């Protein structure tokens, strides 16, 4: 669509398969891309692959970190698992002032560094556009998982979706598209009205206990302990739980195990189930963010 990244220097600091698809797109738009933590492959032919993170940081106007961010110790996921990367104070000090730092979500220490060193820090995992688009591969990954684990078809099954946010909306639509009897559980009256309008069965979360025994499969997208021991005890033993809420999920997994209920924690599916689509989503959104955040006179 005529986005122009010519002259912009971008550093990719770790990442996963999605970034293999993202980098060629950035190059197509004119950017110069340096990456650390990747192995050479045909897709990355025009990327400058470096071994030391310092070579990547130098001159970079934009730095792209993984969607998962780092762990508490600062470790950064790399595609080439032989390369160990860590977001150290030294690395932070080496990032140019004024740089745009794009990351899925940032721990507190990264936020502090951003203030200290005057980066523009963008946490994108929860940005609406990305989160809504990422709901597509997440939902498909969840459905694939359910298909693998269920002895029955999704078609004709009683599928429950807990939560009617970005992921819940997409999941419910796909489940019904396949032919499931779709129940959506929500808390807000307005959501329940919309759920009714779309044609799913609306259930207020306060009534869930009355109908949960009907469920063949439950997809949870709410980051709160909804499926606690008491609720689990009302379920059938052959109901499958797929918990998509951010770790630790919304299920008492210990109680589920004791009760013999199969519960799977599966957050962060987009990068795994459909890395190419997920990479394209990043490639669709990130250039716009860069152009919006980097002042024109920079070039």
Give 292's contacts (C-beta < 8 A, 6+ positions apart). Answer: none
Q: Quick check: 197 binds a copy of itself (CB under 8 A)? A: yes
Only one of the segments 27-35, 64-72, 81-89, 189-197 lies at the binding site for a copy of itself (rule: CB under 8 A); that segment is 189-197
Using CB under 8 A, which of 50, 86, 125, 178 touches a copy of itself? 178
Task: Give, rounded to a whole angstrom, the gap between the first and last alpha carbons of the chain.
Answer: 20
Q: State the Rg of the chain over Cα.
A: 22
Site for a copy of itself in 98-137 (CB under 8 A): 128-129, 132-133, 135-137
Give, to the nearest 10 degrees, the angle between helix 189-198 and helix 166-178. Answer: 20
Of 52 and 149, CB closest to a copy of itself = 149
Where do we find the tokens 């329940």?
A: 192
- DSSP bridge partners of 121: 101
Give the shortest CB-196-to-a copy of itself separation in angstroms: 8
Closest to 138 measured CA to CA, from 293, 295, 267, 287: 267
Site for a copy of itself in 237-296 (CB under 8 A): 273-277, 280
Q: Quick check: 202 binds a copy of itself (CB under 8 A)? A: no
Give the shortest CB-173-to-a copy of itself separation in angstroms: 7
251 burial (CB, 10 Å; 0-12 / 13-18 / 19+) is: buried
Of 46 and 153, CB closest to a copy of itself = 153
Of 21 and 113, CB closest to a copy of itself = 21
User: What Å distances lie between residue 208 and 27, 160, 232, CA to CA?
Assistant: 50, 10, 11
Torsion of CA 131, 132, 134, 139, to 10 degrees: 120
Only one of the segments 48-56, 68-76, 111-119, 151-159 lies at the binding site for a copy of itself (rule: CB under 8 A); that segment is 151-159
Q: Quick check: 150 binds a copy of itself (CB under 8 A)? A: yes
Only one of the segments 37-45, 71-79, 172-180, 218-226 lies at the binding site for a copy of itself (rule: CB under 8 A); that segment is 172-180
Give, to the nearest 10 degrees, the angle between helix 128-149 and helix 166-178. Answer: 40
The alpha helices in 150-274, defined as continuous H runs, are 166-178, 189-198, 208-211, 229-233, 253-259, 270-273
Of 61 and 278, CB closest to a copy of itself = 278
Report how far residue 106's alpha carbon sits from residue 207's, in angstroms, rounded to the nearest whole number.
37
Of 95 and 269, CB closest to a copy of itself = 269
Of 9 and 18, CB closest to a copy of itself = 18
Give the shortest CB-133-to-a copy of itself separation in angstroms: 5
> Residues interacting with a copy of itself, by CB under 8 A?
17, 128-129, 132-133, 135-137, 140-141, 143-144, 147-148, 150-156, 169-170, 173-174, 176-179, 189-190, 192-194, 196-199, 273-277, 280
């Amino acid at each position: 669509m005529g986005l122009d990244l010519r002259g912009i220097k971008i550093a990719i600091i770790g990442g996963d398969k999605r970034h293999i698809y993202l980098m060629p797109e950035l190059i197509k738009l004119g950017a110069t891309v340096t990456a650390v933590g990747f192995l050479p492959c045909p897709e990355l032919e025009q990327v400058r692959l470096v071994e030391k993170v310092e070579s990547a940081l130098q001159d970079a106007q934009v730095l792209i970190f993984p969607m998962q961010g780092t762990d508490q110790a600062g470790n950064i996921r790399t595609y080439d698992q032989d390369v160990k990367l860590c977001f150290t104070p030294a690395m932070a000090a080496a990032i140019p002032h004024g740089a745009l730092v794009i990351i899925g979500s940032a721990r507190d220490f990264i936020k502090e560094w951003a203030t200290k060193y005057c980066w523009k820090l963008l946490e994108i995992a929860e940005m609406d556009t990305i989160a809504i688009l990422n709901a597509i591969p997440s939902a498909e990954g969840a459905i694939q998982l359910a298909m693998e684990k269920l002895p029955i078809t999704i078609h004709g099954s009683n599928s429950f979706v807990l939560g009617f946010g970005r992921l819940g909306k997409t999941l419910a639509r796909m489940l019904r598209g396949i032919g499931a009897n779709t129940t959506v559980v929500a808390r807000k009256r307005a959501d329940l009205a919309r759920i009714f309008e779309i044609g799913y069965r609306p259930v207020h979360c306060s009534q869930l206990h009355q109908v949960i025994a009907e469920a063949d499969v439950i997809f949870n997208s709410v980051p709160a302990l909804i499926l606690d021991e008491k609720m689990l005890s009302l379920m059938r033993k052959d109901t499958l739980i797929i918990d998509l809420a951010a770790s630790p999920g919304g299920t008492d997994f210990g109680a589920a195990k004791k009760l013999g209920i199969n519960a799977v924690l599966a957050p962060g599916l987009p990068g795994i189930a459909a890395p190419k689509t997920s990479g394209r989503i990043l490639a669709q959104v990130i250039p716009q963010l860069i152009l919006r955040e980097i002042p024109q006179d920079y070039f």
